[in-house]
Chain A
Amino acid sequence: MGILDGLGQGFSVALDPTNLLYVFLGVLIGTVIGVLPGLGPTATIALLLPLTYEIEPVTAVIMLAGIYYGSMYGGTITSVLLQLPGEAASVVTTFDGYQMAKQGRAGPALGIAAIGSWIGGTVSIVGLVLLAPPLADLAVEFGDPEYVALTALGILLVTYLGTRHPVKSLAMAALGLLLATVGQDLITGTNRFTFGSISLFDGFDFVAVAMGLFGVGEILYNVEKTEKAQALKSKISNIWPSRKDFKDSSGAIARGSVLGFFLGVLPGGGGVISSLASYGMEKRRAKDPTRFGKGAIEGVAGPETANNASSTSAFIPLLTLGIPPNVVLALIFGALLLNGVQPGPQLIDQQPEIFWGVIASMAVGNLMLLALNIPLVGFFVQLLRVRAGILAAFALLVTMAGVFSVNNDVFDMWVVLAFGIIGWLMKKTGFEPGPLVLAFVLGSILEESFRRSMLISGGEVSIFFTRPMSGTLFALMAVVVIWSTVQGIRRRRKRSRPSTPGEEDLAATGTTAEPEGTPGYENTDDTEGATTGAPRDGSGATGGTGSTASRAQDGGPGPDRG
C-alpha cells in the first residue's frame, strides 16, 4: 500500500467520531496531567490501562498517544508561569520560560512553545510516514536471532541512556525479565515460580504490575514530596508572538524538530533527553550564551519543539520493529498486546488501520492541542488549585477499582499494592522502575525468540554472531557496554558518579535527567541545582532572585504534611 492510500485510510480512521472523541480526550487529559505536578504521563497511562479493554485497540492507542504528546504541551504552561515543571521533559523550559514570564512576556513564551511543539510534532509525523514503511519492510526479514538481538539492544539502551545509574537500571531490567518468567512455561507447560498459587499460573498481570509501579508507587512518592496549592500571580497577554520572536526562534524550532525526531527514534530517547539536548545545543550555538537563563526565547522554543518531536517519533520503533524505545511506549506496547495486537513489522500490512490511524490521529491531535492551548491557558492554570492530596486520593481509588475490573479478581489488587510498595521503595533507593517494566513487557518475546533460536541452531550460541544483522547488533551492544564501563571507571576516578550520555548537556543546564514520563515535582528542600534550580552558570544574579522569588511566592518550602 502506498503512503497516500495509507494516509487516506488513516484519516478515515482518525476522523471517525468515536476516535475523534478519544483523540480529544487523550490530548485534554495529557494537557491536564502535564499541568498537574503530581501526575506524569507514565502514571496516567498506567492508571488508564484497564480502560483499553473496553475500547477498540486503535482507539486505545490513539488516546494513550494523545496523553503522551499532550503532556508535552501541558508541562510547558506551569514551567513558564510558575517555574514548576508539570512533567520531566519541561524542566529546562523553566530556565528561560520563567524569566520571560517575570519580564511580562509569559504570553509569547507560551505561544512560541505551542507553535514550536506543533511544528516539531508535524515534522515528526512526516518523518514517521516516510521512514516507518521502509523500516518495517527491512524488519520483515528478521528471524528469531535478530529479535533476540534487537530486544536485548533495546533493553540495554534504555537502561544506559534514559537513566542515571546504568548498572542499577540493568539490575532492574534483569528483575523485570525474571518476573516475566513467572507462570506457565509456554513451550513445556511447566509451572515456574508459582509456589502453588493458581492466580500466578498466568504470571503477573502486566496491568497490575504497571499500575503498581507507576500508578501507586509514583503517587505515593509524590505525596511524600509535594504538597502545595499554587495560585497564578502574573497576567498573560499577547500570546501570539511578535515577528521578532518568530525570527529569533525559527532556527531553534528547526533544529529542535530534527534533533527531537532522531533522539525520539533512539531507544532510551524521548522527551526528557531531547529537551535537554536541544537546550544545550542552542546555548552552544548562540552568539551571546549569557542571555540564556535570562529569558532567551530560543531556550523555550528549542526544547519545547524537541520534546514534542521526539514523543511522536518514538512511535517508529514501536510500530515497525515492535520494540518500545522508552517506558511510556512500553506501556502503550503493553496496551496493544492486551488487546491481542502484536506490534511489529507485520503491523503495517496486517492491521494498517492501526498503523495509519494512529499516525493520522497525531496530526489531528497536534492541531487540537494548538487550538486548545492558546485560548485555554487561563483555564489550565486554574487546575493548579487542586491539591496533590486530593489528586492522590482519587487516583488511588481509580487504580484499585480499575485493576479489579480487568480480571474481576481481588488478587490483582494485592499485586498492585505489592508493586506499589516496591515501586515507592525503588524510587527512594534510586532504582528506576522504568527498565523493570520495559523488560517485563519484552521478557516473554525475548525468551521465546531465544529458545527458538537455540532450537534452530541446535544449541550453537554462535547463531547470534554469525548472521550479519544480529551480529552487528550484538557488536553494537558490546560497544555500548565497554564504552560506558570505561566512562564509568574514568568518572569514578574523578570522584564523580557514573553518568549517562548527554550528561554534558545536563551539566550545561545544571540539572539531572529525570526518567521519561515522570512528573516534574517541585523540590521542597533547598538543595541547589536540583529540578527547579536556576541555571548554575552565567546568570548568578538573575537566577538567584528567580528561585528566591518563587519560593517566597509559594509560601516557603513546606514540610507541612502528615
Chain B
Amino acid sequence: MIRPPRLLAAILLGVTVLSAQAQELSIGLSTPVTTMDPHFHNLTPNNSIAKHIFETLVHQDEQQALKPGLAESWRAVDSTTWEIKLRKNVRWHDGTPFTAEDVLSTLKRIPNVPNSPASFAIYMRPIVDAKAADPHTVILKTREAHPLLPNDLATIHIIPKKAEAMSTPDFNSGKAVIGTGPYKFAEYVSGDRVVLTVNDKYWGPKPAFAKVRFRMITNSAARVAALLAGDVQMIEAVPTADIENLRKDKRVSLASVVSNRIIYLHLDSGREKNSPFVTDAAGKPMEANPLRDARVRKAISKLIDRNAIASRIMEGEAKPAGQFLPETFHGTSRKLTPDKYDPEGAKKLLAEAGYPNGFGLTLHTPNNRYVNDEKISQAVAQFLTRGGIPTKVEAMPSAVFFSRGSKLEFSFLLAGWGAGTGENSSPLRSLVSTFDPKLGNGAANRGRFSDAGVDALVQTALTTIDDTKRGIMLAAATEKAVGELMGVIPVHYEVSTWGVRKGLAYKARVDQYTLAHEVKTSK
C-alpha cells in the first residue's frame, strides 16, 4: 500500500508538456472530422480541414465574398460558358505542377465517390461539359444560365490528377492526401486528432504556425476547460453560457461574427385542415388549420420578443432576424426589419383571422443541432402561451427530428439554415419555394409553403447572370415570402464565436470554418 500514492504523486506532478512551443498551434474542434477524403462527406468539420490541405478554384473571405484561389480570374463568356484562368507556378505538395488536367480529374471524381453519404455532386449538377483550352485555362459549360457557378466552385476542393482513381481509404491513410494548400497532411486519428505541418512552398501568405494539431473535443464545457487550462490555444463554437465569463478572463480573447445561419420557425401552411398538432384553445383537436392564414403567422411572429431571446437565452450571441440572411449578404432586402414584439397587434390579427380566443400548438424542436435550440423553443412557447396560443414544446434529437419533419408529421417546428453559397437564393430555393423534386426546389420546405409569385421570382433570379438584377429579384422574393406572407418566421442569426489564448488573433468567419492559416500572432 505504499506504491500507489507514490505513483499517484508521480502522475500528478509529472512534467507538464509545454502547451505551446511557439511553433505549434492546438485547436479544439466541436465536431468530429470523419474523413480525409475531400469529396466523401460534405460536412462543415470535414470541409474545414480540407481547406487547409486542398484549395478551391475560388476562395471565400471571412465574409464569404469571392476572391481568387487556384483560379486567378473567371468570367462568363456567354450565358452558359465560363472561362477560368488558373494560377501559374502552383505546385502540389509532392512537387508536381498544378494544371487544368487536375481540375478536370477532380470534376470527374466528384460524382463517383463510392458510398458517399453526402457528395459534392449538387454543386456540379449545372455543369454539362468541362474542357482545358490550354494548361492554365478551363472552359465550363452549364445546362442553362447559372450565375452561381463561382460560388459553387468555392466548395469544390481540387485534387491532383493522380488521385482521381484513389479510394476514400487511400485518403484516410494519408497516402492520397496531396494538395496545394498552406498545410500538409501529417496524421489523422479517427475521433481524436488531425495533425498538419506547414507547406513551405505555398504560393500565398505564409501561415504563422509550423504545425497544427486539431483535437476533437465535442463536449462544449470540456472544450472551454481545455482552453482555460491552456491545453489548446484556440477553440471554436464557444458555448453561450461561458461568453460573459470568458470576456472578463485575461487569459483569452474572443472573436465573433454574425453568421450566415438563421434560426427560423416553419408552420404547416400546406394542409387545409387537420394539421396534426393544432388544437383549439382548450386542447381538443380542431379541424381548421389556422396556420394557413398569413395573418395568424404574422401574429405569431409579433408575439415573439426576439430581443429577449437574443439577450437572455443566447446571452448576446444572436442577432434578431427579419429575413433569411444578414443585410451584408447579396440578394437580401433593405426594407425588412425584425418584427417588433407587439402582443396587442397580434391579438388584433388573431381576431381578424377568426381566432379571438387563440388555439393550441405543439412546437417540435431538435435538441442537439443548433445553439440552444431547445431553449429557444421553450422561450418561444413561453411567449405564445402568454399571448393566448397555449404552446407545448416537444424536443428530440435531430436523428428523430429531421426524419419526422420531412415526413410532415409536425405542425410547427424550429430549424436552422446556413446559406452555404453565401447568397440569398439558397434559403429562398430550399425553404419557401414550392416543393418540387424535379426542379430540386423546396427540399427543406417542411411547412409546404407555396406561392406562385415567390416561385416565379426565384426561378428567374436563378438564371439571371447580372448580379445587380438578380439581387433585386431575390430581395423582392424575400419581401414577399417573409415580409408579407411569413412563409417562415425568422427568429435570429446565430453569432459564431471563437476563443483564443491571449497573443493570438482570429478573424471570425460567417461560414463557421476554423482555419489555422488565418490565425495570427498579435504581437
Binding between chains A and B: no
Residues of A that sit less than 8 Å from B by CB? none
Residues of B that sit less than 8 Å from A by CB? none
